[in-house]
Amino acid sequence: MSSEKKSEQNLEKIGQGLTKFQTPHTYAIIFFVVLFFWVLTFIVPAGKFSTHDVQYVDGNGDTKTKTVLMSETFRYSYNLNTEQLSKDLTILAGDAAKLEELGVDKAALDAFLATDPATWDQSQLNDLGLTDPVLYGLYGESMYDTSKKLHKVAQVWGTDDYNGFGFMNYIFEGLVTGSKYGSAVGIVALILVVGGSFGIIMRTGAVDAGIYAFIRKTKGMERLALPLLFYMFSLGGATFGMSEEVIPFAMVMVPLVIALGYDSIVAVTVTFVASQVGNATSWMSPFSVAIAQGIAEIPVLSGASFRLVMWFVITGLAAAYMMYYAEKIRKNPQSSVMYEADGYFRNRMANTTEEEKKFVLGDKLILLEMLAVLIWIVWGVTQKAYYIPEIASQFFVMGFVAGVTAIIFKLEGMTINEMASSFQKGVADLAGTAVVVGMAKGILLVLGGADATLPSTLNTALHSIGESLKGVPVVIAAWLMYVFQSLFNLVVTSNSGQAALTMPIMAPLSDLVGVSRQIAVLAYQMGSGFVDAFTPVSASLIGVLGVARVDWIKWAKFQIKMQGFFFILGSIVIVIAVAINFQ
């Protein structure tokens, strides 16, 4: 047997093994990450930074203020050197001008100095206005007893009245952090409302009817139809994270595309790959961009203008790449690696008819209403600074109006009770995603929290990574973030799961290396989106390939080249984002 034949057989065995590999559940992955980080806190001492406010000009030309780390102020957590601090504070008590500048009451400081220094702790100093950053700015590390680095380790079981946070309660503690304006609570509420709204919309059947009508109308105009379909599925990925929903549409698209003279690879590309391009370049997806931005503590759905342009351009280039391959297959169908396998669909074509689904006025009104609300959301976010409460309200209006329209036009037997049940089902479908947001905050809590001024293992880790990237140009640092996120997605294909696992680290790291948090989110969304169209552990991809009767190994031979194309596009976007200081 030739070495080439053996190599091909070995590759096929590897491909079969990969497609059988079962991805660990996102919850399981996060739990073990939490456990790993908890153990890490026993090994890595806690550290902290000082912060300062910087001004920057946002995309609208307005001057904004942001609190960022001062990387040069990193220090490990130590006990106070109360003996030295007593001497320094005694001198400070005699400097009236300095006390006034610091806002420290002299009488209170004198009373404090009269107590035993051995009993002093930082909380007492905080009450005087002498916080750790203030004292460090005055005296540097001389205020600490540097003989022993301290660790910040969570208890196994913690309550409010006993040692605080415990790592076994990371889900609850994570879920209840923040407020309606951000962090976990606000993001969770937004996700549940959005899920319920889309539950109503999908129940009306308008989305299905619209796509089927589009497919019927464009028969015979495939050179125009395929790019338009690519944009449609990309829009689905960009707006509501379309992924598993592609599978039923693939059932229709595969025989249609083959009948038009193409192959099943084109069918998978125009459906699933397009949806993942939309995911990767989304400006508003509440399941990827919104979660990542919430974790990164930047305005949710901010940067929409830049992302809209990115989505339109990259979707067009990806569609052009697909058409380049598709036209080669149309001119010479036998050149396709799927030609023999696609014979199954060609042989059935005469007996296969597309299920007729009327596209009525009610369906059209619902789709127009969805488009209007999506435009309203983009306008509100970019022009009126709408935030989580307003965005949630807008999504609810979208679902409610769609449901009322379906009742009026008697679509799919919609009733008021059906609307309520559909909303409930939509909420239930995304409840698991909402929990991931709480888990993300739980990871931060186990690591000691995200406050740079408080001692934590996370701060020490960020300092170490930042030190290793010292001297690296900002554009290279941003690009390395994109590379990391792309590689990470080979194993973890859940957008929300990847956000939970990586953004708690990437967001503050971006402060250290001089990359805006918006660019860190950009690196995440492209890395977590593009590679989903390739990785064999993606349940959605394997499902679509199954419908199309395409072996993953044959898909990989085609897709690996397209992944290279996507990676080049993503790298260019990162360079542009750094060049314009995307905020």
At 114-140, the pLDDT tens digits run: 999 999 999 999 999 999 999 999 999
70 occurs within a structural domain = no
* Range of 6-15, 325-334, 468-477 with top mean pLDDT: 325-334
507 occurs within a structural domain = yes
Instruction: Determine the Cα–Cα distance for residues 199 and 207; give it in Å rounded to an integer.
Output: 12
Q: Report residue 382's pLDDT band, with 50, 70 and 90 as the boundaries.
A: low
Backbone φ, ψ for residue 386 (5° rounding): -60, 140
234 occurs within a structural domain = yes
- Residue 353 has a pLDDT of 44
Cβ neighbourhood burial of 40 (10 Å; 0-12, 13-18, 19+): middle
Beta bridge partners of 79: 145
Give the amino acid at 156: V
Q: Give the residue numbers spanning the domain of 226.
A: 175-579
The helix/strand/coil state of 494 is coil
307 occurs within a structural domain = yes
352 occurs within a structural domain = yes
Look over the chain and give the mean of its residue pLDDT values, rounded to a whole number: 84
The helix/strand/coil state of 287 is coil
351 occurs within a structural domain = yes
65 occurs within a structural domain = no
- Residue 59 has a pLDDT of 46
Greatest pairwise CA separation for the chain in angstroms: 97
Among the listed ranges 35-44, 411-420, 428-437, which one has the minimum average pLDDT value?
Answer: 428-437
Instruction: Calculate the alpha carbon distances from 545 to 230, 249, 493 in Å.
Output: 17, 12, 16
Q: Which tokens go with 119?
A: 């009993």
418 occurs within a structural domain = yes
pTM of the model: 0.70
533-549 average pLDDT score: 80
Is the model's pLDDT at 569 over the cut of 90?
Answer: yes
Q: Tell me: the pLDDT tens digits for 156-183?
A: 887 665 557 788 888 888 888 878 876 6
Instruction: Determine the Cα–Cα distance for residues 73 and 148; give it in Å rounded to an integer.
Output: 19
Q: CA 155, 161, 165: angle at the middle one, nearest 5?
A: 30
Total structural domains in the chain? 1
